[in-house]
Structure 1
Amino acid sequence: MTGRRRRALAGVLLCNVLEWYDFIIYGILAVHLARAFFPQDGTQAALLATLAVFGISFVMRPLGALVLGGLGDRRGRKPALLLAASLMAAGTLAIGLLPTYERLGLFAPLLLLAARMVQGFSAGGEWGVANAFLLESAPEGRRGFATSFLSVTVALGSTLASAIAALLAGFLSAEAMADWGWRVPFLIGGLLGLVALWLRTGIDETPVFLSAPPGTPAPLPLLRRVRRPGLTVIGLTLHWTVCYYIFLVYFPLFAQRHGGLSAAQATWSNTLSTAAIVLIVPLVGRLSDRHGRRPFLIASCLLVLALVVPVLWSVEAVGGVALIAGGQLVLAATIALYSGACPAAVAELFATGDRSRWSSICYALATATFGGFAPFLAVWLSEALGSPLAPAGYVLLAAATSLVVVWRMPETAGRSIA
């Protein structure tokens, strides 16, 4: 691998790290953001509003997928990746610099929402375009391994977010964290986004895209080409996105409220879990090249169906740092089984001329609909039903639905992507 290619690959992966870093750090710091950007009336309204902004920003993901994914299919993967990196860096820096509710009143939460929507637009196209780039650049027989690093970047971003939040919680007082400490992670993310943008300028277009240039007549009408794979991707993503946002974004809050963990303990538990995902995912990706994508996707769904209720019950009924961290680690391993095999399966379902746009749109629709509001729904369900175990029902429904989809989908590991 040449130095130019290593730089390009680093740029693709780093921006994906930062995309998920930005989203996870928002969830981890939701309590501080609620105090900074919303009026405090002694209820949970501010926290719910902050989580609602987290969810609403996902509405922009399908639009970003349509625009950036379409750009990737028409003009190439490189220009789409450059634009996505620029928008992500801008949105993240903006959050770190925004005035608070105390200084701007209602304009403060509106500006927060605007910055989050820029991030959502960027993230909507980023995943599908980057996944197509990795798939089309991979050697034959290594597509699962290559695209699994997209999931590694998700876990790395989460690990980085959890680690920085834990360090800040450990070194800063509660007053300093509420006053200015919450801004530091967003400023770090924005600056690293600028580095990723510079690295992406070294990207070369993929050989697969160049061999099938835009304008090549399609053998089938659009709806017939994308309807079945598109619905399959939405069904695949349901389990993936719900588990990710419940187990890694909502779980630290759950561990603090119902398991008695401190903020630092909860974030270190999260860091351990995401680090485990980083280690497991490439192995699963490589094994999926040999044994197929479906066995690992099915195993993940079955394990979640069996484990989510016992793990959440043990946190609330027993507690303790070791037990809670162990339970989250087990749930993280189930995510890793899915994350190692799913990116390749999603991209392999589409032809080259449709891959960037339609994998992005379908993935973004599922993420926006089922994943973005998952932390909000988890808090709301717990309050509405009076049970901390209520969010498990949402996870079980998602896992069961995706299991049916995976059971009926074709194996994609041996497909030609040209």
Structure 2
Amino acid sequence: MLPVSSAEQSSGTRQDSPKHFSTVVAASLVTGLEMFDLTVFGFFAVVIGEQFFPAKDPLTSLLWSVGTFGIGFFMRPLGALMIGAYADRKGRRAALTRTCWMMAVGTAALGLCPPFADIGVAAPLIVLAGRLLQGFAVGGDIGVAAAFVMETSPVSRRGYRVSWQLSSQGAAALMGATSGLLLTSMLPPAALSAWGWRIPFLVGLLIAPVGLYLRCRLPDATPHTRTTRSASGPVAELFRQHRATIALAMLMGQTIPVYVIVYYMPSYATRIMHMPARTGYLASALSALVLVVIPPLAGGLIDRLPRRKPLALTASACMICLIYPVFLIIGHATSTLAILCGVALISVMVALSAVTGTLLVLEAFPSRVRATGMAVSHALHVAVFGGTAQFIVTGLIKLTGNPMSAAWYVTLACVVNFCALVRFREQRSSADT
């Protein structure tokens, strides 16, 4: 356990005050609200495919739907560059308030758009535009919010504070899965397809009043960004001096396991394994619950470890060993309990690895380019791997006719993650350079 200086103890006391706790809530939980708007699309991909991308083959309709879901991720790098650089130049609060407005407009476009049967080809185009705007907003928001939380935390409490942003994203997934479970249980299929799927999107519009109320009360700048600005601009410095860090950080993310195990599971269970929709939503809800509970525990643990990297390596190695057996259980289990246990076990490993990896990346960038660096590396990772995960898995299953091809792809992603972690240089320091 690392020694904690009196200065850090004093800082920790200040951070535990209601005022500082509210800044963590504003930065972390509002990101969760934004992620809820995104994840609802993934959970209702089957219905959205039927409404906006009708086709004779249901799997083709699902492919178009998850493809549109993925396209929004390709706007994330652009959003990360522009919003992250803006945050490094003008301050975190200014950037975080703007993402609320953009997310609200994108969500309204999705939740209020008439179906293909009413307005024809304009319907999928409006849905596509809404996804692009959502992707742009979240691309910058996640990195800026993570940098803000880290910079307002003492070194001895960074892991715990940053973990709440990841926990909020798990809460968003849990809310999305729960809404799917409730709506499929309470509404007949015709009502769910006609209007029921829109309810979560309309609830997601709360991002505008709630998000703006919380974020307008954040401090205008963190202690570090008031005095440390990049002379050449954050984007130029980032790609001139930190290219290797960005490349490794891209490969260290847990997007593929998360998007396949959590968000794709309802579609996988119903369309691929022909299980009741309730089973898929239960698995997603349990996985999301694990991603809510485990991150703060993992964050508290890594704050007490002399090094963060070994924990991330252990969790990544465990995932490599567990993915294939868990998918075998999903394919051959006769009880829902066995499926839930397998999914929960993988989700624990994902949470441990994600919290540790996020803090490793944040500490690797100096504060003058941290928001841009974190946003860009995360957005590139999600665009390349997360945005394509559901589409590739669905395509592999259709091409091979083997549901286990999903496990092959996720296992390969975990191997890449492990190799990148091995190469990544841990730079834990009490100084913020």
**Normalising to structure 2: TM-score of the pair?**
0.91
Structure 1 residues 307 and 225 mapped into 2: Cα distance closer, same or farther (>3 Å)?
same
Aligned to 1:252: 266
Residues in 2 aligned to 1:196 and 1:147: alpha-carbon distance in whole angstroms: 19
Aligned to 2:172: 157
Matches within 5 A, 1:327-338: 327-338=342-353
- Which segment drifts farther, 287-296 or 163-172? 287-296
Runs of 5+ unmatched residues, structure 1 = none
Aligned to 1:48: 63
Matches within 5 A, 1:220-231: 222-231=238-247
Aligned to 1:169: 184
Residues in 2 aligned to 1:323 and 1:231: alpha-carbon distance in whole angstroms: 37
**1:262 equivalent in alignment to 2:276:** yes
The residue matched to 1:142 in structure 2 has which SS?
Answer: helix
Q: Deviations over 1:355-400 (max 9, x none)?
A: 1112211211111001111011111101101100002221122111
Q: Deviations over 1:336-363 (max 9, x none)?
A: 1112212211111111111111221121
The residue matched to 1:56 in structure 2 has which SS?
Answer: helix
Which of residues 37, 41, 54 in structure 1 aligns to 2:52?
A: 37
Q: How far off its partner does 1:259 sit?
A: 4.5
Residues in 2 aligned to 1:304 and 1:222: alpha-carbon distance in whole angstroms: 31
Aligned to 1:114: 129
Residues in 2 aligned to 1:261 and 1:140: alpha-carbon distance in whole angstroms: 47
Aligned to 1:279: 293
Matches within 5 A, 1:188-207: 188-204=203-219, 205-207=221-223
Question: Contact 1:260–1:319 (CA<8 Å) still a contact in 2?
Answer: no
- Which segment drifts farther, 205-214 or 100-109? 205-214
Aligned to 1:57: 72
The aligned amino acid for 2:62 is L
The aligned amino acid for 2:44 is L
Q: How far off its partner does 1:266 sit?
A: 1.8
The aligned amino acid for 1:92 is T
The residue matched to 2:226 in structure 1 has which SS?
Answer: helix
**1:362 equivalent in alignment to 2:377:** yes
**1:76 equivalent in alignment to 2:54:** no
Residues in 2 aligned to 1:138 and 1:287: alpha-carbon distance in whole angstroms: 16
Which of residues 86, 92, 99 in structure 1 aligns to 2:107?
A: 92
Residues in 2 aligned to 1:194 and 1:46: alpha-carbon distance in whole angstroms: 35
**1:288 equivalent in alignment to 2:292:** no
CA RMSD, 1 decimal:
1.9
The aligned amino acid for 1:146 is R
Residues in 1 aligned to 2:18 and 2:417: alpha-carbon distance in whole angstroms: 40
The residue matched to 2:403 in structure 1 has which SS?
Answer: coil
Which of residues 354, 359, 362 in structure 2 aligns to 1:347?
A: 362
Q: Deviations over 1:44-99 (max 9, x none)?
A: 22111011001111110000001100101110111111111111122112211111
Which of residues 322, 329, 334 in structure 1 aligns to 2:337?
A: 322
The residue matched to 1:212 in structure 2 has which SS?
Answer: coil
Percent of pairs identical after alignment? 32
Residues in 2 aligned to 1:141 and 1:3: alpha-carbon distance in whole angstroms: 19
Which of residues 34, 41, 48 in structure 2 aligns to 1:26?
A: 41
Structure 1 residues 162 and 193 mapped into 2: Cα distance closer, same or farther (>3 Å)?
farther
**1:394 equivalent in alignment to 2:409:** yes
Q: How far off its partner does 1:193 sit?
A: 4.0
**Normalising to structure 1: TM-score of the pair?**
0.94
Q: How far off its partner does 1:323 sit?
A: 1.1
Residues in 1 aligned to 2:287 and 2:312: alpha-carbon distance in whole angstroms: 19
Q: Deviations over 1:210-253 (max 9, x none)?
A: 132454999x965442112111211212xx11111111112222
Count of aligned positions? 415
The aligned amino acid for 1:340 is V
